[in-house]
Amino acid sequence: MNRKNSMLATLGLLSLLVGVGGVVAPVFAWHIVSFTTTASTTSAAIGTGVYDKATLQLSTNGGPYGSITFYAYTGTCNGQGNPTGTLVYTSSAVTVTGSGPTTYQSTTASTTGWAAGSYVWVAKYSGTGSNGYPAATAACEPFSLFQGPPPPTVPEFPLGFAALMALAIPVLFIVKSKHAAQATR
């Protein structure tokens, strides 16, 4: 191929890329702009409900958008941001409805039966496969559970006893004030 033909081939390729670039370029530009999580709490008593929120922003190109699933694990995260413990909770998948930024929330997980200690939330975005958005995992979000104090006990009095006390206290004040008045005479 001579220099002139080589130049024409290069120009032809460039014009082809520029000509279809308006159609092809958005496919290559689809990406996750940001994917962050926020735990409902950093510390909670065992038996309370906890949840995670994820904020996802995608480059705009129309749908479909995929879904986010939230996971809770025991332990902490390693240097690569992967949980080190055992899976204890998986939420239902939450459908991503737009390019965002939009915040999505997991269902509330009851921690009844969980042990005191360290836990992490992990949010995973499914991506859209052949539609351009890649799957992604948001960084581990730590929280801890502690054994809470037992609920305060409230003494239970029979209704009759409570009514008797309600009447007796004012009577005692009346008797005492009459007795004090007689003592001063």
Q: What is the pLDDT of residues 79-117, one digit of tens each?
A: 888 899 999 999 999 988 877 788 889 999 999 999 999
Return the pLDDT at 82.
87
**Per-residue pLDDT at 49:** 93
pLDDT, one tens digit per residue, over 140-149 is: 889 999 997 6
Greater pLDDT, 11 or 94: 94
First to last CA, the chain: 134
Most confident range, picked from 2-16, 22-36, 43-57, 164-178: 43-57
CB within 8 A of 111, min separation 6: which ones? Answer: 44, 46, 47, 48, 49, 50, 145
DSSP string, 68-108: EEEEEEES-B-TTS-B-S-EEEEPPPEE--SSS-EEEEPPP
Using pLDDT thresholds of 50, 70 and 90, give the confidence band for residue 161: low
